[in-house]
Amino acid sequence: MKLFDVYPSFEITPIKGQGAYVWDKNGKKYVDFYGGHAVMSIGHSHPHYIQKIEEQLRQLGFYSNATQNPLQEALAQKLTQLSGYVDYSLFLCNSGAEANESAFTLASHHTGRTKVLTFTQGFHGRTSAARAVTDLPRIASVNAQHEVVQVPLNDINVVQKHLQTGEFAAVIIEGVQGFGGIHVPSSDFMEQLAKACTASQTVLILDEIQSGYGRTGRFFAHQYTRIRPDIITIAKGMGNGFPIGGMLISPEFRPWKGMLGTTFGGNHLACVAGLAVLEVIDQENLMVKAAKVGKYLQQKLNSVAGIKEVRGKGLMIGLEFDCSVAALREQLLYDHRVFTGVSGTHVLRILPPLTITQSDADWLVNALQSVLQQVTVV
């Protein structure tokens, strides 16, 4: 049986990782400034992470949510400590898309409405309803349960006009738009959006799947503002490679048995992976490091000739160019052994592990300078 060929991929086969580095099957070393789509929050093969998963696997790898699992409570407690959301509840699932689908379900149950407001250049996943609210026409899908309205980011007047109708179950917005090009919503817009949602009894869903878990220098990107969303969705860096997702849910919501469900969500291995990640973020002060190294890196990148704009927060950075970045990305990878990501055709996406150092940042900056001096980005 051959693989269903949906992934464009480079001719590189990683077989080993350590910290911010990966090695391919030929023994070549690369610095990872993409972290597998912002997944590798604490770096590759962290010893504490490995130890916790090994210990749990020797005891019990899985049992269903039909039984008690104290690891879920432990994960919720540690997440409360680092996020500050003391009075919220935690629902665990398997991915960011599943977390957003569950958030839409919860919002519809809570409001009795089905419309969802979302934003241009937003990305929220590839399952049915998540695709419907994603601004990526080629993969968009029609979802019979939710009518979707898309509006420009940072335009509060348009948002207010729609929400005043009282027809919307939810608004979903990313803490920082990732796939759409690292666009940061303004603090004023976010605070006005929260007020508009409260006034219209619309559920505010904050998608922190890519921008959460310390990546921006705060535990959640929206914590640069004063808002408290009704639902916060999480995944990616939450498990450092182990599939896990979830929702932080405001006390305004009241659960009932069977309201939500998942077979694998919150399983024993996922919980210990999630706990290990939070413990490392806490013990190694990675949020502070992300803010510090992110600031250093952005300052360095702002001095590189040929970059149109540098934007983002912490270690969630977008580099926009006047032309396509496809050739640039390949040269960084094959000639300088630097992994990066893209957003569309003109933006490089920088999402390294939070353990990255200033020396690693210099590696990226030097590689970019070298490539931009030698070739024209086309």
Q: Give domain limits for the chain.
A: 14-46+285-374, 47-283
Name the residue with tokens 């929220």. Answer: 124
204/185 Cα distance (integer angstroms): 14
Cβ pair 347, 321 in contact under 8 A: yes
What are the backbone angles phi and psi of residue 269, rounded to the nearest 5°? Answer: -70, -40
47-283 matches 14-46+285-374 in CATH topology: no
**Sheet strand arrangement including 347-350:** 309-313, 316-320, 347-350, 341-343
Domain covering 47-283 assigned CATH 3.40.640.10 in the classification: yes
Query: Digits of tens for pLDDT over the chain (378 positions)?
Result: 999 998 889 999 999 999 999 999 999 999 999 999 999 999 999 999 999 999 999 999 999 999 999 999 999 999 999 999 999 999 999 999 999 999 998 999 999 999 999 998 777 665 656 556 665 555 455 454 568 899 999 999 999 999 999 999 999 999 999 989 999 999 999 999 999 999 999 999 999 999 999 999 999 999 999 999 999 999 999 999 999 999 999 999 999 998 888 999 999 999 999 999 999 999 999 999 999 999 999 999 999 999 999 999 999 999 999 999 999 999 999 999 999 999 989 999 999 999 999 999 999 999 999 999 885 544
Residues 6+ apart with CB under 8 A from 309: 318, 319, 320
Name the residue with tokens 């500050």. Answer: 84
14-46+285-374: CATH, from 3.90.1150.10, 3.10.150.10, 3.40.50.2000, 3.40.50.12780: 3.90.1150.10
Three-state helix/strand/coil letters over the chain: CCCCCCCCCCCCCEEEEEECEEEECCCCEEEECCHHHHCCCCCECCHHHHHHHHHHHHHCCCCCCCCCCHHHHHHHHHHHHHHCCCCCEEEEECCHHHHHHHHHHHHHHHHCCCEEEEECCCCCCCCHHHHHCCCCHHHCCCCCCCCEEEECCCCHHHHHHHHCCCCEEEEEEECCECCCCCECCCHHHHHHHHHHHHHCCCEEEEECCCCCCCCCCCCCHHHHCCCCCCEEEECHHHCCCCCCEEEEECCCCCCCCCCCCCCCCCCHHHHHHHHHHHHHHHHCCHHHHHHHHHHHHHHHHCCCCCCCEEEEECCEEEEECCCCCHHHHHHHHHCCCEECEEECCCEEEECCCCCCCHHHHHHHHHHHHHHHHHCCCC
